[in-house]
Amino acid sequence: MRSITKTFPGVTALADVGLTVAPGEIHAVCGENGAGKSTLMKVLSGVHPHGSYAGEILFEGEPCAFRDIRASEARGIVIIHQELALVPYLSIAENIFLGNERASRRLKVVSWNETLRAAAALLARVGLGAEKPQTRVADIGVGKQQLVEIAKALSKEVKLLILDEPTAALNDEDSRKLLDLIREFRDHGIACILISHKLNEIRQVADRVTILRDGRTIETLAVRPGGGTGDGDGDGDGGLSEDRIIRAMVGRDLDHRFPARTAYRGPDAGTVALAVEGWTVRHPIDHERKVVDDVSIEVRRGEIVGIAGLMGAGRTELAMSVFGRSYGRYEAGVVRVDGREADVRTVPDAVRHGIAYVTEDRKTYGLNLIDNVMRNITLPSLPKLRRRGTVDAHEERRVAEGYRTSLNIKTPTVLETVGRLSGGNQQKVVLGKWIHADPEVLLLDEPTRGIDVGAKYEVYTVIGRLAARGKAVVLISSELPELLGMCDRIYTMAAGRLTGEVPRAKATQEVLMRHMTTHVRNDG
């Protein structure tokens, strides 16, 4: 891939990125969340069609112009996404040949005998020979489902396999099996792009690693001297160190500025506003998995506390489950507000206790996109606007106008449909909505995701102001400079567990990244 540039409205996701993968090579791609890894893979696999990006893709020496994913699969490029794309109620065999059915040529009648025979052969190749092809996908574990995905890729005569975080949901044993399999494919000449946050995995299996940061290629490094294919367990064989990779991942110029903070000087400054103790939550569907595992945190009034972690670390799950158990299956843990145990079983309970959660996914969980700015802002606090049983329309309008001014929401009128605003302004609407609810504790989940630098500064200012007024703020963010610039203290999470607590004075990107990539044994 040569000088790939891809822009989304308002954001440049990839700028002049290059990536070269040799035949029979395992090539790792790493970078922070939002560095552009997934976008790059979507360009390569035709999810973003030819013409929607600049630059060119050469495959086996020929330029390619993939219109869609089928076109890239026809050339032998197959991508396996982090979220598995299997139909749970169909059998393994049906899933393997979905969209690619073994059928008679003219009438397209599915040949079941051929389907089952071929599926069994593929299952044997990925080490799932013991499973019957007729088994429903829903009835096998996640690790095996991942292998079914790979069998599906093999059925398409894959030459280049792209794996996006393949081991994120797997336990150690399944991960090891999967990595072994990838190595075996390499020996058969299948090239593989491996996107992973787990640096130890990269060191084990990859030949080379390309690091992306802020949509640019930073560098490509050989994992082992000479790039040979060693047996891969070698510490101390002079290979690439994890620290070297981390440095490349985070070493960015600080191009954001942060507003100065004013300390809160109220009488109750420094008292603990929110404490979460021993919080454990299981995955809503896969009850075997603990997505949040025995996490305890506390936040004081006037304090901004960060939570750092990579994708799947359990940050959002922690926040949402504390906010009225809106995620997963609660297992254990206590929430204390101002030192007293608080019953926050439902969202209205949480709101009553002064907790607000600003979601990372404003379009799905934050806003009613087809309604206007005013009604979105007032939704959680409508009862406050009640006069003699009915919502005071004029007062409501005044409140909304107030937030339009104080948060600088750029919209012609507060009656504008929220879906028409830019991302930054939508985010301000979500913030306004919860500020008006007047909470004492704000859980802010990626409040600056997908918005431009100017809007970010405004959001930081609002956050700083909230803390200066004595609110307790929890800031979840994937951008380490943001955490370092805003927070008094930063917790780190990995695989559902708390892996560190770093005061601002001691925090650097390297320290945080080290904690965030700490491999915790996943024995959930």
The order of strands in the sheet holding 355-358 is 355-358, 441-445, 472-476, 304-308, 489-494, 497-503
CA distance 123 to 111: 18
Minimum separation from the CB atom of position 351 to another protein (A): 5
Q: How far apart are CA 114 and CA 203, in angstroms?
A: 40
The residue with tokens 């254990």 is 332
**DSSP state, 261?**
P
Binding site for another protein (CB under 8 A): 259, 323-324, 326, 347-348, 350-351, 357, 359, 364-371, 375, 379-380, 382-383, 386, 389-391, 393-395, 397-398, 401, 404-408, 413, 415, 417, 419-420, 433, 457-458, 461, 465
Q: What are phi and psi of 391, to 5 degrees?
A: -70, 125
Tokens of 65: 């112009």
The beta-strand segments (E) located in 36-84 are 54-59, 62-64, 77-80
Q: Which is nearer to another protein, 222 or 391 (CB)?
A: 391
Minimum distance from CB of 342 to another protein (Å)?
15
Point out which residues pair with 357 in neighbouring strands. Answer: 443
> What residues are paired with 502 via a beta bridge?
490
How is residue 363 annotated by DSSP? I
Which three-class secondary structure state does DSSP give residue 27? strand
The distance of closest approach from Cβ of residue 145 to another protein in the complex, given in angstroms and rounded to an integer, is 26
What number of other Cβ atoms are within 10 A of residue 56's Cβ?
13
- What six digits make up the tokens of 316? 């959002």
Place of tokens 């998995």: 289
* Residue 522: Cβ within 10 Å count: 21
Instruction: Give the nearer residue to another protein in terms of CB position, either 17 or 435.
Output: 435
C-beta closer to another protein: residue 2 or 363: 363
Task: Choose between 101 and 392: whose C-beta lies nearer to another protein.
Answer: 392
Question: Of 50 and 465, which CB lies nearer to another protein in the complex structure?
Answer: 465
Q: Please state, in angstroms and as integers, the Cα–Cα distance from residue 230 to each residue in 99, 222, 240, 244, following that order.
A: 38, 12, 13, 20
C-alpha to C-alpha distance for 150 and 126, rounded to whole angstroms: 7
Task: Give the residue with the Cβ less far from another protein, 212 or 459.
Answer: 459
- For residue 428, count CB atoms less than 10 angstroms from its CB and return exposed for 0-12, middle for 13-18, buried for 19 or more: buried
Kindly report the backbone phi and psi dihedral angles of residue 297, in degrees, each rounded to the nearest multiple of 5, phi listed first. -140, 160
166 vs 324 by CB, closer to another protein: 324
Provide the strand spans (E) within 97-249: 160-164, 191-195, 208-213, 216-222
Smallest gap from residue 469 Cβ to another protein (A):
8
Find the helix or strand (DSSP H, E) in which 300 lies.
strand 290-300
At its nearest, how many Å lie between another protein and the CB of residue 373? Answer: 12
Q: How far is the CB of 441 from another protein (least distance, A)?
A: 15
Whether the Cβ atoms of residue 432 and residue 358 lie closer than 8 Å to each other? no
Min dist. Cβ of residue 262 to another protein (A): 12
Least distance in Å: CB of 388 to another protein? Answer: 10
Query: In terms of CB distance, is 70 or 386 closer to another protein?
Result: 386
CB of 383 to another protein, least distance (A): 6
Nearer to another protein, 185 or 327 (CB): 327
Nearer CB in complex with another protein: 159/384: 384
Is the CB of 312 or the CB of 366 nearer to another protein?
366
Min separation Cβ 326 and another protein, Å: 6
- φ, ψ of residue 434 to 5 degrees: the values are -85, -25
CB of 369 to another protein, least distance (A): 7
